Structure 1
Amino acid sequence: MSENTSQTTTGATGTTEPAPFPWAPATGVGSLPGGDAREAAKTVTGSFEDFPFLAELPGRGPGADMIGRTAGMLVELYARVEPSGWRIGDRPGRDTRRAHSWLGEDLDALEEFTQGYEGALKVQAVGPWTLAAALELRGGEAALSDSGACRDLAASLAEGLRLHLADVRKRVPGAWVVLQLDEPSLTSVLLGQIRTASGYRTHRAVDRQVVESTLRDVMGAHDGPVVVHSCAPGVPFALLRRAGAAGVSFDFSLLTERDEEPIGEAVEAGTKLFAGVVPATDPATGPGAAPATRGLSDPGVASWVSGRCGAGWG
């Protein structure tokens, strides 16, 4: 999805036209240190006045982490914490309730500090392929091992995102909502590098067309812009663009010469680039401290500053 068409402007001819999305120059990836939702919301709305985001506070424990938070959004699928990680279960339990509680607390805080706000607002969720690589089936193997489980998981995620986004719009009615799908495992899924439960083998690579189609279906849950974030090397820019991503968020320090051509093609196609250049280990520097970056600072290149992954601004 490239534009949010829920708001309109009147053009020179007097006709009603979709308003351009109000992209801002800087935002954060999502996670912040600490465990105080109100303090996090205050920090985010104060530091990113033109592009705040719904903060994630993984330091609070299971259910506040990116996998648990997104698992709590699933519809008619539930997950619980096992020693090996998050595992799909038969019914909602304590871990699901905890994830709902943390998310509700974060939304309450965001609503409090965005009274009267109008502009871009970003919310994050784990994408279908990283979720499939992280969630275990009942036998302990990743959902990635079962194509049917992957389809069910993607459908459940899409429906959960629709409900979540509707709640965000209700709480912050003036927001132009951007959905960020976190896909740090996407490259490993495409290359067949996700290890099995035994650790001795890897799951076979998923067909690129299947990956692209699934991403497109999940992105369809949102009628506004979708940005896909990956903090891993080898981000598949072309695949994400074809799947419908309006923007791609990545760690600038991991780019290589091989990325220059797909990035150039993405820019020419109008894809927004969110370059992670602010170290997560030093939040005091703030988003405005990032230096100009090779290539992405050239005139005409649509790029935005973002934090790197980690427990700071990223």
Structure 2
Amino acid sequence: MSTDYQQAREVLGARLRELRMTCPDGRLTGAQLAERLGGGWTKSKISKLENGRQTADENDLRAWAEATGHPEAYGGLLAQLRGFESHIRSWRRQLSQGHQPVQDAITAEHDRTTVLTIWESTIIPGMLQTADYARHVLTRHVNLMQSPRDTEAAVRARIQRQTGLSDPGRRYQIMMWEGALYALVCPPSVLVAQLDRLISVIGLDTLELGIVPFSASLKIFPGNGFWIYDDRRVEVEEWHAELWLDDSDSVTLYRRVWATLGESAVYGADAQHVISRALRAVTPRA
């Protein structure tokens, strides 16, 4: 967890403690506030929230403001929460209603974007996935996160977003590490169809597809995948959370990472050759 994020939780916790201590009908102990809040609330939860060891949700904040006699404070508390949660969004909370809402949120950001820049080091990017490949990737994530199973709806949402590749008003800069072409996150037959799909999109006027080959000299290690939406925001996926970075320094850094990786990439016919080599390697033998 980042220091900035933890500090923001602690600042929010301090504000919650202040509201408890300044209750109009007299200060409340943690146990008293928990009793007033009712079901699901314990003295331990009060302590964790106030000390920044647990993140409140919107319902927690509303209940706290009302129980401490400060209903007018809810708006400010919510603004604080959104201010730091917009940067680190845990998968557990995002996936509480399944994968489709996450895909819908990505689509909303995609629809605001003219130039989408993507780096992937381990899997084929969602913008270029076949439905079968996407289904296997999402199923594995559902199993890992133990989230609601709405895989088919999530697949449809992801594939629908690919219509942007036919929009002359958009541009996609997609680059990936050659290792992503070999990752068996699906049966070999599905990967074969996926690699055929990659070959078929080379040459689209809306798409610049680059591959960093195993044999390329690297000026920086491949690292995590990331998406840059115009020059507005970067999204980086970790196992526990998705990071949303919208400060100019971070966007500039990821642009520099992209450019540095790009110095090792091949495009056009050379990229097609690398994909074809992977296709021959993963094609099941009769």
Normalization by structure 1: what TM-score? 0.32
Bigger Rg, structure 1 or 2: 2
Normalization by structure 2: what TM-score? 0.34
Which structure carries more helix by proportion? 2
